[in-house]
Amino acid sequence: MKLNFTDALLLLGLIQGVVVIYATMRRKSTNLLAYRFFGLILLTLTLSTLGAFRTYWLNDYLHSIQSRLLFQFFPYFIFLLLGPALYFYQRSMLDPSFKLRRRDQLHFLPLVLELMPFIVAIIAAFALGVNWMSLDQALNLTYALGKVELYLLVPRVLSISIYLCLSWRLLLFHRDKTSVTVFRWLKTLLSVFTALSISYGLLTLLLFSPWVYLLLDDFPYSIAYLVHFPIVGLIYFLTVKFMLNQIPWSKQGTVISDLSEKAKILSQLMEEKKLYRDPGLKLKQLSEQAGLSEKSISYILNQHFQKGFNDFVNEYRVGEAIEKIQNDNLQHLTLEGIAAEVGFSSRSTFYRAFKKVTQKLPTDFIH
């Protein structure tokens, strides 16, 4: 048996997938769930490549009905696993506290549908071997299982589409709460899978149309150019990213690093541009100056500075007020004048903020 270019391409993708799956299952990390779900994603892609390899290379050598039952209905295309694996991989990357709960495991229950044809095929192969089933019955069962496999395309497309929608929604919700590196990686990953899902959905519609044999010359081998080769390409992409260590696994480290960078931007705006001197400064204005969303700024203030917007701004106002009081010693300005210069709109707000920040009154800083 000789390998042509198509077979070699599939085989190489298959080998790469197996190697990286093994690596993800053996890897020890603080973000273990992300590695495991990444491995499951690769498992679904690698098994589908194995199914394609079987179609293009082994079909002509499966002469007995038992071998055809076992090899044809092996669960190569477990795409009902792909959607949940992709969704939970993303959750484990975006949410530092995420743990797989028992109710989360229900998302993987539809995988039973993928396994049923193979279980029936095993029973039929055994029954045929001990003469509990005739050859005609086995052939009829093979045809029926083939129909089941075809109709399984519908729940697969629906499952992948639903979980992609959930994944996009989750990613956009966490856009301002995670690092740019993680966000870009997950966005790229979802974009690739969305494109693949669209092509898979279009192919499913085509397979149920009466013109399938007219539109797909040399069917089913021509499916390779529509689905199997893009999947192999995706395996190459993921394995290269993995082997070059270009996947941001450490969710907490990258988030903290990026959070610190954004926090530095806010501090610089206060220290250099002294935005706090504007008594009417609002979160929206700070958002426009920093180039960050209001939600992102609120998150940074809460997580990095452990304070709200008003406390963050008033701390800078009080800090400059103390400097002015100590340097000027109220020779040229009154306390009310200093309060107005640093951004306080009223005497009561000035005193209240001063007490909250320093636990003292402004007069306590007069020498």
> What does 282-317 look like in DSSP terms, one character per residue?
-HHHHHHHHT--HHHHHHHIIIII-S-HHHHHHHHH
Superfamily for 254-365? Answer: Homeodomain-like (1.10.10.60)
pLDDT exceeds 60 at position 312: yes
What span, in angstroms and rounded, lies between the C-alpha atoms of 111 and 105? 11
pLDDT band at 253 (very low <50, low <70, confident <90, very high): very low
pLDDT band at 256 (very low <50, low <70, confident <90, very high): very low
Torsion of CA 299, 305, 308, 309, to 10 degrees: -90
What span, in angstroms and rounded, lies between the C-alpha atoms of 319 and 106? 55
- Least confident piece of the model among 16-20, 206-210, 340-344: 206-210
Domain residue extents for the chain = 5-249, 254-365
In the block, tokens 């494109």 appear at: 195
Residues 116-139: pLDDT tens digits?
999 998 998 888 888 888 888 888
Question: What are the C-alpha distances in Å from 177 to residues 230, 234, 271?
Answer: 32, 28, 24
- Least confident piece of the model among 44-53, 226-235, 252-261, 290-299: 252-261
pLDDT exceeds 90 at position 159: yes
Residues 258-295: pLDDT tens digits?
677 778 888 888 888 888 888 888 888 888 888 777 87
What span, in angstroms and rounded, lies between the C-alpha atoms of 238 and 220? 27
Top-confidence residue, 339 or 177:
339
The count of residues in the chain is 367
Contact assessment for residue 120 and residue 144, using Cβ atoms and an 8 Å cutoff: no
Which pLDDT does position 60 carry in this prediction?
A: 56
Question: What are the C-alpha distances in Å from 344 to residues 85, 286, 338?
Answer: 53, 17, 9
Question: What are the C-alpha distances in Å from 24 to residues 38, 187, 249, 288, 350?
Answer: 7, 21, 11, 42, 57
Contact assessment for residue 72 and residue 142, using Cβ atoms and an 8 Å cutoff: yes
Contact assessment for residue 47 and residue 86, using Cβ atoms and an 8 Å cutoff: no
CATH 1.20.120 for the 5-249 domain, yes or no:
no
pLDDT exceeds 60 at position 217: no
Which pLDDT does position 252 carry in this prediction?
A: 47
pLDDT exceeds 70 at position 223: no
What does the radius of gyration of the chain's CA atoms come to, in whole angstroms? Answer: 31
Tokens of 307: 């304070």
Largest Cα–Cα distance of the chain, in whole Å? 110
Top-confidence residue, 211 or 107:
107
pTM: 0.66
Residues 57-68: pLDDT tens digits?
665 555 677 777
Top-confidence residue, 109 or 249:
109
Type of residue found at 198: I
